[in-house]
Amino acid sequence: MASTTNPRWHKWLTGGMVALILVSLISWVYTRDRLPEPIKIGTAQQGGLYHELGNTLHELLIKRTGHQVELISTDGSNDNCNLLRQGKIDIAIVQAGAGSMEGISVVAPLHHDLMMVIVRKELIGPDPDQVNSVADLAGKKVIVGLPESGMRQSAKDLLQHYGVEGSIIAEEVHFTELLDDPEKKYDAAIVTIGLNAPNIKQVISRGEFELLPISSKALEQKYGHFQATTIPAELWPPFPRETIPTVSTLSLIVVRDDASDMLVSSILDCLHEHKFRHRFPAKSLHPDDAEFSFVRTHPAVNSYQDPLYGFGWLAGWLETIAAGRELIVAIGAGVFLSWDYWRRHKEAKRQQVLDVQKVRLNEFLERTLRVERMQMNETCHEKLEGYLDDVTEIKLRALDELSHEELQDHRSFSIFLMQCANLISKIQLKIIFYSGNSM
């Protein structure tokens, strides 16, 4: 029976499957959820709390992911946001309200940054030419933070509220310049920072400065990213001597909107490790909390914090299938090609056996033809019986050796059997005829 496989159709199908595998694998490689290499974290100036936070996250990410992680010192929150949007960093620590969050999603809050208005002690007093409130800073040299920092934006908000933004002498430098100012060229500094920052402790511990109170409730109502709070008395004993009203804003870990779920989950895993929580106690981020109403969280945060996350195996399984659909297609195509190769290999072996048996059948046909030629003019009874035995032996050996089902159904095998049967009958008739004549 001839093979029904169309070689041209089979060639096109195989080529199509190979192309499908290549396209699917390429698509899967470039679209699968994966981590950047290396992972780049934007912090702020060295020596500050943001840099410490970034350094701890840097260590934990390397340990957890095994990927290369780079720590990038920047000018601050707004600089981080710009670098993030430009794709030059992958993770950033920013101060809420420091700049545009377009294209940026929040992963988690880290702590509250408190605003402090630090003024030299000798400038504080009840006289009209002395400083008693933020409004009295007019004409003074005030450090307002680096141009691209969150501190700069917070200082701008405060000064605008008190109407003195244009009347101070703004110095866009880092507040740690107060530590190296023997000539006292800076009168004050507006700083928004975490209370545990080592550099703010260094400034306060010198005993040369006082803190001004801030109209916290008014700022909270005016700016959505500020919350009214206080700096406790004797936070850095014996300073301050009394509780100071102020405002706070959140420091946030952020990523681009298109950041992979794997990156976000890795960050959250690090934030929940004991080492991080012990050094930097973090609040849990709940999107419905009014305090976070002004931020947009990354979708992976909601999945991570879902209380039914452990029972969502079905959703996770379906998401895995959706994420790896190209890989599944490639695997399916690979299975088909493997099956097709196995089928063709098996067909080739079957055809090889069939070809060998066809050759053998032709040999048996040739032997029967030789016997038929030899018996044509033979009249000897004994020789005819020998020819009869030869033909019978040829037939029996053929039936024994040629066992392939397709060969036995082939027309040439039927011809062979018919030829054997006719030759046996012919010889038998000759034996009977010549035996009768010899009696």
- Find the domain containing 368 and state its range: 329-437
Residues 149 and 224 in one domain: yes
Residues 270 and 347 in one domain: no
Domain tally, the chain: 2
Tell me the one-letter amino acid at 7: P
The pLDDT of residue 285: 45
Q: Please indicate, yes or no, if residue 130 is contained in any of the structural domains.
A: yes
Of 293, 323, 353, which closes a domain? 323
What confidence tens digit (pLDDT) does each residue in 252-293 have? Answer: 999 999 999 899 999 999 988 877 877 776 554 454 555 555
Residues 317 and 390 in one domain: no
Q: Please indicate, yes or no, if residue 24 is contained in any of the structural domains.
A: no
For the four alpha carbons of 362, 368, 369 and 374, in that order, the dihedral sign comes to: positive
377 forms beta bridges with: none
Q: Please indicate, yes or no, if residue 25 is contained in any of the structural domains.
A: no
Residues 131 and 263 in one domain: yes
Residues 122 and 252 in one domain: yes
pLDDT of 218 over the 70 cut: yes
**Rounded average pLDDT over 7-20:** 68
Residues 48 and 182 in one domain: yes
Domain CATH number, residue 268: 3.40.190.10
Of 323, 344, 379, which closes a domain? 323
What confidence tens digit (pLDDT) does each residue in 73-98 have? Answer: 998 999 999 999 999 999 999 999 88
Quote the CA–CA distance of 374 and 218 in Å, as a whole number.
127
Of 306, 323, 340, which closes a domain? 323
Residues 289 and 340 in one domain: no
Q: Please indicate, yes or no, if residue 32 is contained in any of the structural domains.
A: no
Residues 169 and 317 in one domain: yes
Residues 252 and 283 in one domain: yes
The pLDDT of residue 326: 65
Residues 6+ apart with CB under 8 A from 430: 375, 378, 379, 384
Q: Please indicate, yes or no, if residue 407 is contained in any of the structural domains.
A: yes
Q: Please indicate, yes or no, if residue 26 is contained in any of the structural domains.
A: no
HSE-CB at 388 with a 13 A cutoff on CA atoms is 16
The pLDDT of residue 267: 94
Residues 367 and 287 in one domain: no
Residues 282 and 360 in one domain: no
Cβ–Cβ under 8 Å, residues 326 and 24: yes
Pairing of strands 244-256, 227-231: antiparallel
Q: Please indicate, yes or no, if residue 43 is contained in any of the structural domains.
A: yes
Residues 6+ apart with CB under 8 A from 295: 96, 101, 106, 250, 252
4 — phi, psi (to 5°)? -95, 0
Residues 334 and 319 in one domain: no
The pLDDT of residue 60: 94
Lowest mean pLDDT across 106-110, 285-289, 295-299:
285-289
Quote the CA–CA distance of 163 and 170 in Å, as a whole number.
14
Q: Please indicate, yes or no, if residue 145 is contained in any of the structural domains.
A: yes
- Is the link from the previous residue into 240 a cis peptide, with omega within 30 of 0? yes
Cβ–Cβ under 8 Å, residues 423 and 391: yes
